Structure 1
Amino acid sequence: MTLLPAPRPVVEPATVPAASLRGTPPASTPTALVELLRTAGAAPTVIEATGTWLMARESEHSRTAYAKDASWWLSWCAATGTDPAAARAIHADQYGAALREAKLAKSTRGRRLAVASSWYAYLVRAEVAERNPFAGMDRPSADVDSSPTRGLTAEQLGALLAHARAHESPRTYALLAVLATTAGRIGSILAVTVGAMGQDQGHRVLDLVVKGNKTKRVVLVPLAVEALETYLGTRGEVAPDAYLFATSNGRPMDEPAALRTLRRVANAAGIPHADQLSPHSLRHSYATALLDKGVPLADVQDALGHADPRTTRRYDRARGALHRSPSYRLAESLTQAMNTTG
């Protein structure tokens, strides 16, 4: 198969700008990934197989996520002059090194490598590729004992929402309120439609499509309900199948835009580490706030939708490690000594 012109000399990963592996994905939808392949000169059999590989995913959200992650590999190949059709294990390892040089999280690096491997594995199975250069590759494993996500205290979360309510658009406030009070993943929140809102046993609820193409029903607390009703009131008549957090052209708000919005609002609200936050920070903060209030770990696990309690324990360990740090006790002794000396 031929995806790109004859390969040029491979550029060392360190010479590839880190920005080329961060930010907005080269392809943000399955259609865009197929178009990227077509533009690169991929054979029709490869394009057909790629489309089938994507359609085998359980949900639209999964198909989109796979397309985004696969596009980074094609982008790296184009930047380094590597022909994906002729890629060998050394190229896969160089790509892995480039992801590390870009300072991406272990979980992100592992996911992108796994998706690239899945794509090649299917092309081999479909008999349109000879090898999977990612087969047998050592991939970074996430630390099960800690979470790299930067969280917010309850006070900081309150300041974020207060600023958004007073100074931001109804859509921005509604988005942040829903993220902060449902612990929904950003992909699920942005993919939800207006018709997913409803009532159940007297509760206002929102049905989110989560991993495995399953539906998880989450409670909308009064704060979020008020924010959503105000926001929807600015949109007039809205069809049930319209995206809840839509842009002016009716398309769903994308994740990079949500990230930029969160950081901008956090900065305006005076949160010191605003530039290190992500939408997942609100999910993280939801967990730690509940654990601080003594909510049982099992209940927090259910709220977050974790299949494995060890995943929830990461939040608990991170919270406890900071709150119980002996550095605070040492600082008290040092402060007393300094005051006495002074």
Structure 2
Amino acid sequence: MQHATLATPHDTTYLAVAGFLARYSNEGTRKLYELDLRIFTDWCRAKGLRPLVDVQRVHVELFGRHLEVERGNGPSSVAHRLGVIQNFYAVCEEDGIIDKSPATRIRLPKVWQDESKTLGLDRLELGAFLAAARVHPDPTRWALATLMGMLGLRVSEACAVQIEDYAHEQQGHRVLRLVGKGGKPATLPLPVPVLRALDAAAAGRTRGPLLRRADGEQLDRRTADRWVKALAKRAGIEKRISPHSLRHSMITNALDAGVPLRDVQIAARHSDPRTTTRYDRNRGNLDRHAVHTLAAYVAGGA
């Protein structure tokens, strides 16, 4: 152990956790990871284990079983929490707080995700949703709908848009500049329908939050969620949707329209194309299977 000037292992753990959480700029992420680590350190304390002194790989594995059996966490929650612990110990190792991480080779539960089962909107439903937003007395609803349903912004990104963020031109296009998930900057072109919606919400203003609540304050996620559900009802959409359903709808409809996967991945700002592929509702369509094109190609050379 290093940092011997610290009075007790508890002090070391506290500072190690604080340093780990300080790496994340997003407040929601910090709170989530803090909760995950608190659950783990409380379990260690109940077992008489000091997290940075006594814990070995077997203890982390047993904590995973504790999450499954005693806390009733599903595979995705267990994988998430064990992943946070892995990252925490990896940082502690890099910082010289511990000699070697006890969580490097722990076994994470397999998590199968199928984004195609998420309640997104098909082409007609998305069109009806945008139409209901366009005729709403408050143009802010229209802007919110287009930012998420046509540009694929996450709800937190849409709420954070400032009027100055889309007062730019690049390569002959009006563009929106934002900082997305993980602090990654992005530049998105604005189609004419989207630009009209944003200008309507700005209502002549040149600075400040684009999307505002009725009290003039910047739109928040909770209000955005309420607006999305109300617009879906006005559009006659019976399925229960959330703001993420609109981002999901942008991706699935782009794929359904025949936009190449690589282009949709860039538009969605996914770092891994496999994430985009999971959204493809028609990937199981046998009519689109690659063997048909291959058979025709080979037959042409026979």
Same fold (TM over 0.5): yes
Q: Counterparts of 1:97 and 1:196 in 2: how far apart (Å)? A: 48
Q: Counterparts of 1:220 and 1:300 in 2: how far apart (Å)? A: 15
Alignment of 1:278-297 (within 5 A): 278-297=242-261
> Unmatched 5+ residue regions in structure 2?
1-8, 52-58, 288-302
Q: Which residue of 2 aligns with 1:270?
A: 236
- CA 1:266/1:296 → structure 2, altered by over 3 Å: closer, same or farther? same
Alignment of 1:71-150 (within 5 A): 71-73=34-36, 83=45, 88-89=59-60, 90-96=62-68, 101=72, 106=76, 110-123=79-92, 136-143=105-112, 147-150=116-119
Of 173, 185, 194, which aligns to 1:215?
185
Q: Counterparts of 1:139 and 1:148 in 2: how far apart (Å)? A: 24
Task: State yes or no: 1:232 paired with 2:202.
Answer: yes
Q: Counterparts of 1:71 and 1:307 in 2: how far apart (Å)? A: 25
Q: Which residue of 2 aligns with 1:68?
A: 31
Instruction: Quote the RMSD (CA, aligned, Å).
Output: 3.9
Q: How many residues get paired?
A: 267
Q: Counterparts of 2:156 and 2:68 in 1: how far apart (Å)? A: 25
Between structure 1 and structure 2, the one with the greater Rg is 2
SS for the counterpart of 1:238 is: coil
Residue 65 of structure 2 aligns with an amino acid whose one-letter code is: D
**Per-residue deviation, 1:180:** 0.9
- CA 1:138/1:258 → structure 2, altered by over 3 Å: closer, same or farther? farther
> Unmatched 5+ residue regions in structure 1?
1-41, 325-342
TM-score (norm 1): 0.62
Q: Which residue of 1 aligns with 2:277?
A: 313
Q: Which residue of 2 aligns with 1:158?
A: 127
Q: Counterparts of 2:206 and 2:170 in 1: how far apart (Å)? A: 23
Residue 143 of structure 1 aligns with an amino acid whose one-letter code is: W
Q: Counterparts of 1:72 and 1:199 in 2: how far apart (Å)? A: 43
Q: Counterparts of 2:234 and 2:69 in 1: how far apart (Å)? A: 36
**Per-residue deviation, 1:74:** 5.7
**Per-residue deviation, 1:117:** 3.5
SS for the counterpart of 1:321 is: coil
- CA 1:48/1:86 → structure 2, altered by over 3 Å: closer, same or farther? closer
- Per-residue CA deviation, residues 123-149 of structure 1 (Å, 9 max, x unaligned), is 566577899786544334443775442
Of 152, 158, 167, which aligns to 2:136?
167
Q: Counterparts of 2:124 and 2:78 in 1: how far apart (Å)? A: 33
- CA 1:319/1:214 → structure 2, altered by over 3 Å: closer, same or farther? same
Residue 20 of structure 2 aligns with an amino acid whose one-letter code is: W
Task: State yes or no: 1:186 paired with 2:155.
Answer: yes
Q: Counterparts of 1:168 and 1:43 in 2: how far apart (Å)? A: 57
Q: Counterparts of 1:269 and 1:262 in 2: how far apart (Å)? A: 11
Q: Counterparts of 1:231 and 1:160 in 2: how far apart (Å)? A: 17
Q: Counterparts of 1:225 and 1:171 in 2: how far apart (Å)? A: 13
Residue 119 of structure 2 aligns with an amino acid whose one-letter code is: R
**Per-residue deviation, 1:156:** 0.6
Residue 91 of structure 1 aligns with an amino acid whose one-letter code is: F
Residue 307 of structure 1 aligns with an amino acid whose one-letter code is: S
CA contact under 8 A between 1:145 and 1:313: conserved in structure 2? Answer: no
Q: Counterparts of 2:101 and 2:69 in 1: how far apart (Å)? A: 18
Q: Counterparts of 1:144 and 1:77 in 2: how far apart (Å)? A: 25
- CA 1:122/1:296 → structure 2, altered by over 3 Å: closer, same or farther? closer
Q: Counterparts of 1:227 and 1:306 in 2: how far apart (Å)? A: 25
SS for the counterpart of 1:173 is: helix
